[in-house]
Chains A and B, each alone.
Chain A
Amino acid sequence: MTERRLDAAELRRRTQQLLAAHPPAATDRQTFLEARFDAGLAWVHYPEGLGGLGAPRSLQAVVDAELEAAGAPDNDPRRIGIGLGMAAPTILRYGTEEQRRRFLRPLWTGQEVWCQLFSEPGAGSDLAALGTRAVRDGDDWVVDGQKVWTSSAHVARWAILIARTDPDLPKHQGITYFLCDMSDPGVEVRPLRQITGEAEFNEVFLTGVRIPDSHRLGGVGEGWRVAQTTLMNERVSIGGMRLPREGGMIGPVAKTWRERPELRTHDLHQRLLRLWVEAEVSRLTAERLRQQLAAGQPGYEGSGMKLAFARLNQEISGLEVELRGEEGLLYDDWTMRRPELVDFTGRDAGYRYLRAKGNSIEGGTSEILLNIVAERVLGLPAEPRTDKDVAWKDLAR
């Protein structure tokens, strides 16, 4: 058989083949997703055998459109965002062949949910200062420490974890990256209640957790470099969702404005129009970034998307509470819950306002991101560092 060129027509043909072999109406969801993965139609830009075909990333849209039209189930990407957006690209880049084969398939189908054990109470913006220890013991590593801001920890089967393996080295050098089994008896997950009333995040206590060395990702002491892949992907996925006009936080406000003329004031009108324009321009910037990536042009715009997204969400949701007048004094529900999904635009205006406050903190604070833009994009001098050549154990804390 001659090799066919991997273009849109070929992907359409393969998608139809998958649909014919596994009619969605007559196929169990998990079975269909596994078949899709095995056909290389999960993420077409991944390598063959790992859910992809080594095709251009832009062709994924062709597959998705065909499958959606056929009513095929998807892998509920919002539920497994950390796995798809952060763990997978890191495993793909740094994993051994065995690790890639073991983890990527159930990750993509959603059979195994992933979470991220990075931040600690003493290591937020200065993540490289983390103190969770991993000590080698035979073929295993024994991990002790505390992680925080871990979304999905209570439903996750696996975690990406960074821990300190050599406290005598400067902080960036003594870190190693692991894949941690969340069902280990030493893992304790406690809900961490937030200002919204919910516990979308958790604290995770690690006590004598045993991780086999075969679940180390990358070399010993190379964890910081490996983690950069994870973190860059986190920022892209936070800021880079594709939206139609009025698709983000501005949507519900515009809807309320149209439906409730009695709430309108001149001041709110001016502010709403300004924010509407900013939301639209931000959407266009995100769209331009996507077009650049699809065309294979490196774009710096990604570094800024999350910054813009955070500020806009906060300003728009703040306006929305005011717009609601007397209802703005109310809150829908303070019940402590542990939601499986993070939904920035879900629920009422008050919730949106409070939840948006986290947007400029999670995944890199806006202040740190401004440093990154200034230094990496504009090439301005780096912040003075006093900790670069100091052993981690000797740092001030």
Chain B
Amino acid sequence: MTDLLYSEEEEALRAAVRDLLTDHCDAAGVLARAESEAPHDLALWKSLAEGMGLAGLLVPEERGGQGATHREAAVVLEELGRAVAPVPYLTSAVVATEALLACGEEELLARLASGRTVGVLAVALHLAPGAAFPAVRVQDGVLHGELTGIADAAVADVLLVPAEDGGLYAVDSDAVAVTGQVSLDQTRPVAAVRLDGAAGRRVGDAGPAVRRALRAAAGLLASEQFGLADWSLTETVRYLKERKQFNRPVGGFQALKHRLAQLWLEVVNLRAAARNAADALARDEDADVAAAVAQAYAAPVAVHAAEEALQLHGGIGMTWEHPVHLYLKRAKADSLAYGTAGAHREALAGLVDLQAP
């Protein structure tokens, strides 16, 4: 039966991740990094992935991982979302890892699970599970083409590239040209990947691997979105208790209280939807519907939470120095990531038999 709560072990995992992020991922640091040439925090990634062993949560122990499930990965993502942490966790430890699990690949999977190698699936971030995805040409045993919108490609050691022959190829990042694209979300930037006769190793069939990877991504992204939304709500409530205008805390004005209470309802709902998706993925039961429901609900809520945070902070919310824009940009980019809410609703129409006219 669906378990929508957090176990004691999951809470302990959360506490450990949160401690690390509190010490090593403050908003000022994330912002400074976002303005630099290297927005990703690879030292933080190393602590999370290698130090804490979190890159291998989805990989069975006998294949080099931790043998945990999507439930634990979801808890990690909640905390990473709460801190808008610029690490390739979702892209490498969830998406690329799921793709390799679908392929039955061993060697690269173990490297990703160890956290020493960052893998990225070379499918544009906005594509939904089941959507058609671009593939590169295979000619004389090497790969040719350009793929854009690839999240975290800038820090990938290996790219998993779909090719026109139906294969999924592992390509070393040294063999391709990765060009960062100026991105709305500076904490999870996208890049263009150009393959000019790059050598690749076929690891499996692209179709099922991409579908499985994007389904897990959509389902677990909801936990990241919950983290974003929960930060936005908590921080706004805190600020509104402190900020005074008209000789009273602005959080005492009923118009604002009601908006925050409404937002709280949405965040509470989002947690249930995200937990349900993580649990369904872990048990591989009803996972298509659970992931689509979570993503159809999560995207607008995370965006709404960040937008409310900005508006209710007033002028300070519009400044570069205040972190709320990092959350807004991540939430908005997340609303496209792995399919929009609309794309997931459309998928549900088929899944639960509510067909279009």
Determine if A374 and B248 form an interchain contact, defined as CB atoms under 8 angstroms apart: no
A380 touches B248 (CB 8 A): no
Chain B window 1-29, contacts with chain A (Cβ cutoff 8 Å), 1 for yes, 0 for no: 01111000000000000000000000000
Q: CA separation between A287 and B268, bound complex, in Å? A: 12
- Main secondary structure on chain A at its contact with chain B? helix
A102 sits at the interface (CB 8 A): no
Rounded to whole angstroms, the CA-CA distance of A379 and B264 in the bound complex is 12
The reply to whether B248 and A381 form a contact with Cβ atoms under 8 Å apart is yes
- Least Cβ distance of B297 to chain A in Å? 5
The residue from A278, A288, A373, A375 contacting B275, defined by CB atoms under 8 A apart? A288
Given A258-B353, A276-B352, A282-B269, A292–B5 Cβ distance below 8 Å? yes
Residue of A nearest to B258 (CB): A370
Tell me if B265 and A264 are in contact (CB < 8 A): no
Interface check B349, CB cutoff 8 A: yes
Check: A269 CB closer than 8 A to any chain B CB. yes
Q: Does A284 contact B (CB under 8 A)?
A: yes
- Verify A308–B265 contact, CB threshold 8 A: yes
Is A20 on the interface with B (CB-CB < 8 A)?
no
User: Does B144 touch A at the CB level, under 8 Å?
Assistant: no
Q: Which of A259-277 contact B (CB under 8 A)?
A: 261, 264-266, 269-270, 272-274, 276-277
Q: Which residue of A lies closest to B6 (CB)?
A: A297
Is there contact, CB below 8 Å, between A374 and B257?
Answer: yes
Contact partners of A1 in chain B: CB under 8 A: none
Q: CA separation between A261 and B357, bound complex, in Å?
A: 7
Q: Are B254 and A371 in contact (CB under 8 A)?
A: yes
A381/B4 in contact, CB under 8 A: no
- A273 engages B354 (CB within 8 Å): yes
Q: Is the interface of B mostly helix, strand, loop or mixed?
A: helix
Size of interface on A: residues with Cβ below 8 Å to B? 45
> Which B residues are CB-close (under 8 A) to A379?
237, 241
Residue in contact with A281 in the complex, picked from B2, B262, B272, B349, CB distance below 8 Å: B272
Q: Is A28 part of the contact surface with B, judged by Cβ < 8 Å? A: no
Total residue contacts A-B, CB cutoff 8 A: 120
Distance in angstroms from B284 CB to nearest chain A CB is 18
- Nearest chain-B residue to A262 (Cβ)? B357
Q: Name the B residues within 8 Å of A264 (CB-CB).
A: 355-357
Residue of A nearest to B295 (CB): A277
B264 cross-chain contacts in A, Cβ below 8 A: 304, 373, 377-378
In residues 25-80 of chain A, which contact B (Cβ within 8 Å)?
A: none
Contacts of B238-285 to chain A: CB distance below 8 A = 240-241, 248-249, 251-252, 254, 257-258, 260-262, 264-265, 268-273, 275-276
- The complex places the Cα of A273 from the Cα of B350 at a distance, in Å, of 11
Verify B297–A378 contact, CB threshold 8 A. Answer: no
Checking A257, A261, A287 against B2 with a beta-carbon cut-off of 8 angstroms, the contacting residue is: A287
Considering only residues 273-305 of chain A, those with a C-beta below 8 Å from chain B are 273-274, 276-278, 280-282, 284-285, 287-288, 291-292, 295, 297, 300-301, 304
Chain A positions within 8 Å of B352 at CB level: 254, 276
Q: A380–B265 contact, CB under 8 A? A: no
Name B254's contact: one of A258, A273, A282, A383 (CB within 8 Å): A383
Q: Tell me whether A373 and B354 are in contact (CB under 8 A).
A: no
Q: How far does the alpha carbon of A277 sit from the alpha carbon of B225 in the complex, in Å?
A: 17
Closest partner residue, chain B, to A308 (CB atom): B265
State whether A254 and B354 are in contact (beta carbons under 8 Å apart), knowing that A274-B345, A291-B5, A367-B258 are contacts in the complex: yes
Q: Is the CB of B2 within 8 A of A370?
A: no
Is the CB–CB distance between A284 and B273 below 8 Å?
yes
Chain A residues whose C-beta falls within 8 Å of the C-beta of B249 in the assembled complex: 380-381
5 pairs of residues in contact across A and B, judged by CB atoms under 8 Å: A273-B348, A277-B297, A278-B269, A371-B261, A374-B258
* A interface residues, Cβ below 8 angstroms from B: 254, 257-258, 261, 264-266, 269-270, 272-274, 276-278, 280-282, 284-285, 287-288, 291-292, 295, 297, 300-301, 304, 307-308, 367, 370-371, 373-375, 377-384
